[in-house]
Amino acid sequence: MRSDLIKCGTARAPHRSLLRATGVAEEDFGKPFIAVCNSYTDVIPGHVHLHKVGEIVKEAIRKAGGVPIEFNTIGICDGIAMGHSGMKYSLPSRELIADSVETMVTAHRFDAMICLTNCDKIIPGMLMASIRCNIPTLFASGGPMEAGVLKDGTKVDLISSFVAAAAEQQEGNTPEHSLQEVEQSACPSCGSCSGMFTANSMNCLCEALGMAFPTNGTLLATSELRRELFEKAGERIVEMALLQDKREKGEDVGQKLLPREIITTEAVDNAMVLDMAMGGSTNTVLHSLAIANEAGLDYNVKRMNDLSEKTPNICKVSPSCHYHVEDVHNSGGIHTILGEVERGCKGLLNLDCPTITGKTLGENIKEWDIRCDTATPEAKRFAAASSSRKCGTQAMSNPPAAATIDELKLDFDPQDCVRDVANAYSQQGGLAILFGNIAPLGAVVKSAGVLPQMMKHSGPAVIFESETDAYEGIVSGQVQKGDVVVIRYEGPKGGPGMQEMLAPTTAIKGVGLDDSVALITDGRFSGGTAGACIGHISPEAAAGGPIGLLREGDIVEIDIPSQSLNVKLSDEELAGRKASWQAPEPRIKTGWLARYTALATSADTGAVLGLPKGEG
């Protein structure tokens, strides 16, 4: 075993002395050492219960014959970091997490790893690290939050709170529900925020990527069935470690167990097909590019666009619709979405891709697609897990409302929540990559969340040099119907850190301009963003990209169906402006963000860190 390097032989007596001090017993030295990479923290709703999850997983590992060794990573709550300088640290934290996990696993020679995660940046950071370490690894998320419910039965979530806060500042506005009621109801339980925001998008993508068990992305954090899922994960990771040991001794075990064997070009394609089908967060584009980069794959935004052209958008979830992740789960979850894609678009998915279950993606779909005759009783039992509809429900405490999904009474039509291809919202995917003279290397939009009348839009640029200035400008009336809000110098280098623009985008909706105003930026968006909001513009302004050359009143032309983003200026005019452009001084010159600014690459390559010039 890999861990023999720290526990076997006379020369390793000092190592064993130290391990004994941590509680490792004599009989443990012949067992696989399993890293339990936790991301528990008291400040993120999606992670507050992960210390309990860690204990369940560790006990399952012990029972299966392994030695669990837990360590933690950092984690940032994007919602709490939103709207102030803290958001500059959010995307950069992905790199710190990847580096720290790589450091712990490599330094201590663990045999396998289970990653307990839930929220944005933490999931991709751990995925990137798993590829670097390339030991048997599986992911187990803490699960999504329940949707909030107001007194009149209206469902709400975190985005409802952002919109209500912006509307409260609009003079003369009379909201349907009080800000206080929305605030107190929006986040009723632990778990990752209840819409198809970035955290839930990434947890769902882990299923399609092959790195997590079915239901990982949709089974509520409050469901008592999550305990079973965690126990199964603990048992399976020990099995994977022992199988890998046999492989290293020359035995054919008939399974692919390593991240670099699972996360292939075809597997990333599967994840992106899912993303397009369910209209996930635009951040998944950024993170998927970074993950592919770690795996050494030649993967780019053009490939994503090609997949979007072939993939129907069959599911919409908040913020693009009134449905929430709990509804997706009761409609069959991720493998039912994949099943509908396979039935309607034969050959689009790569069904032979291996997964951590020991089965192929196609075999997992047959067992977990509840609309398929081959769905297992376990799949139908898990699909019945539902919301408690109460504030304060604890993790893993809520029993299913029925024995199977066939017996569960739903207050919505699951065939509408997850549609078949013939009744898709559109025959193209829910995300699109735009190109043009503003975005030569691409820009990303969640087309599933764009109103029909805003799919094409032309208007004068109203320019802001920061996210906070834009928010103030929008709520104070500086932006008018027909305008295009431009927020620049918020990219990976310029921000630095590529801040999420949830405050300005929800402000546009809050002041009633979402049907007439578009927003473009070299920054990025929360998964909670909806509307004609185009981000990840590359090259960014700080790198001399054309978005930095725009001037107040320039006419910006957006055509999402044609995948184009342009400013109505001649090439000669843009070249003249570029000749007089000067790179601004870095906004931060000390500490971690100064180093990040120096090393960060463009959004079209995943905003990964590169080596300093002259190296590598």
Q: What is the mean pLDDT of residues 114-143?
A: 97
Six-digit token pair at 215?
Answer: 């239901």
Taking the C-alpha atoms of residue 181 and residue 237, their distance in angstroms, rounded to an integer, is: 43
Task: Indicate whether 181 belongs to any domain.
Answer: no
Taking the C-alpha atoms of residue 35 and residue 68, their distance in angstroms, rounded to an integer, is: 6
Q: How many domains does the chain have?
A: 2
Burial of 125 (0-12, 13-18, 19+ CB in 10 A): buried
Taking the C-alpha atoms of residue 575 and residue 488, their distance in angstroms, rounded to an integer, is: 19
| Closest by CA position to 166, among listed 514, 491, 446 | 514
Same domain, 493 and 384: no
Burial of 134 (0-12, 13-18, 19+ CB in 10 A): middle
Six-digit token pair at 536?
Answer: 């990840």
Same domain, 405 and 437: no
Same domain, 241 and 382: yes
Taking the C-alpha atoms of residue 244 and residue 522, their distance in angstroms, rounded to an integer, is: 43
Six-digit token pair at 458?
Answer: 């032309």
Contact 219, 225 (CB under 8 A): yes
Torsion angle in degrees (nearest 10) through CA of 73, 79, 81, 83: 160
DSSP 104-125: HHHHHT-SEEEEEE-STTHHHH
Same domain, 211 and 65: yes
Same domain, 437 and 379: no
Angle at 24 between CA 22 and CA 28, to 5 degrees: 165
Six-digit token pair at 374?
Answer: 């081959």
Distance between first and last Cα of the chain:
32
Domain end point (choices 389, 417, 445): 417
Task: Indicate whether 425 belongs to any domain.
Answer: no
pLDDT surpassing 60 at residue 248: yes
pLDDT surpassing 80 at residue 55: yes
Q: What is the pLDDT of residues 362-383, one digit of tens each?
A: 999 999 999 999 999 999 999 9
DSSP 356-414: TTSSBHHHHHHHH-TTSTT--HHHHHHHT-----STTPPTT-BPPSSSSGGG---SS-H
Contact 203, 196 (CB under 8 A): no
- Tell how strand 456-464 and strand 484-487 pair up: parallel
Task: Indicate whether 615 belongs to any domain.
Answer: no
* Catalytic residue (choose from 141, 526, 538, 602): 526
Output the CA torsion sign for 490, 492, 495, 499.
Answer: positive
The residue segments making up the domain with residue 59 are: 31-147+188-417
pLDDT value for 173:
65
Contact 186, 177 (CB under 8 A): no
Same domain, 120 and 261: yes
Q: What is the pLDDT of residues 332-352, one digit of tens each?
A: 999 999 999 999 999 999 999
pLDDT surpassing 70 at residue 315: yes
Same domain, 301 and 339: yes
> Phi first, then psi: what are they for 83, rounded to 5°?
85, 10
Domain end point (choices 392, 417, 442): 417
Q: What is the pLDDT of residues 182-219, one digit of tens each?
A: 999 999 999 999 999 999 999 999 999 999 999 999 99
Six-digit token pair at 488?
Answer: 């620049």
Residue 472's pLDDT band, with cuts at 50, 70 and 90, is very high
Domain end point (choices 417, 445, 462): 417
pLDDT value for 174:
61
pLDDT value for 171:
62
Contact 531, 505 (CB under 8 A): yes
Please report which residue ranges of 257-324 form alpha helices under DSSP H. Answer: 259-262, 265-278, 283-294, 301-310
Task: Indicate whether 3 belongs to any domain.
Answer: no
User: 3-state SS of 315-344?
Assistant: ECCCCCCCCCHHHHHHCCCHHHHHHHHHHH
- Please count the residues of the chain: 616
Task: Indicate whether 551 belongs to any domain.
Answer: yes
Six-digit token pair at 25?
Answer: 């017993």
Same domain, 265 and 390: yes
Taking the C-alpha atoms of residue 503 and residue 529, their distance in angstroms, rounded to an integer, is: 9
| Closest by CA position to 466, among listed 421, 443, 497, 442 | 497
CATH number for position 462: 3.50.30.80
pLDDT value for 613:
62
Catalytic site includes residue 526: yes
Task: Indicate whether 613 belongs to any domain.
Answer: no
CA 178 from chain centre, in angstroms, equals 30
Same domain, 573 and 481: yes
Same domain, 382 and 473: no
| Closest by CA position to 336, among listed 307, 387, 379, 279 | 379
Question: Strand, coil or helix: what is 442?
Answer: strand
Same domain, 109 and 139: yes
pLDDT surpassing 70 at residue 614: no
Tell me which H or E stretch contains 519. strand 518-521
CA 447 from chain centre, in angstroms, equals 17
pLDDT value for 388:
96
Contact 413, 387 (CB under 8 A): no
| Closest by CA position to 443, among listed 552, 532, 314 | 532
Task: Indicate whether 193 belongs to any domain.
Answer: yes
Same domain, 473 and 349: no
Q: What is the pLDDT of residues 547-596, one digit of tens each?
A: 999 999 999 999 999 999 999 999 999 999 999 999 999 999 999 999 99
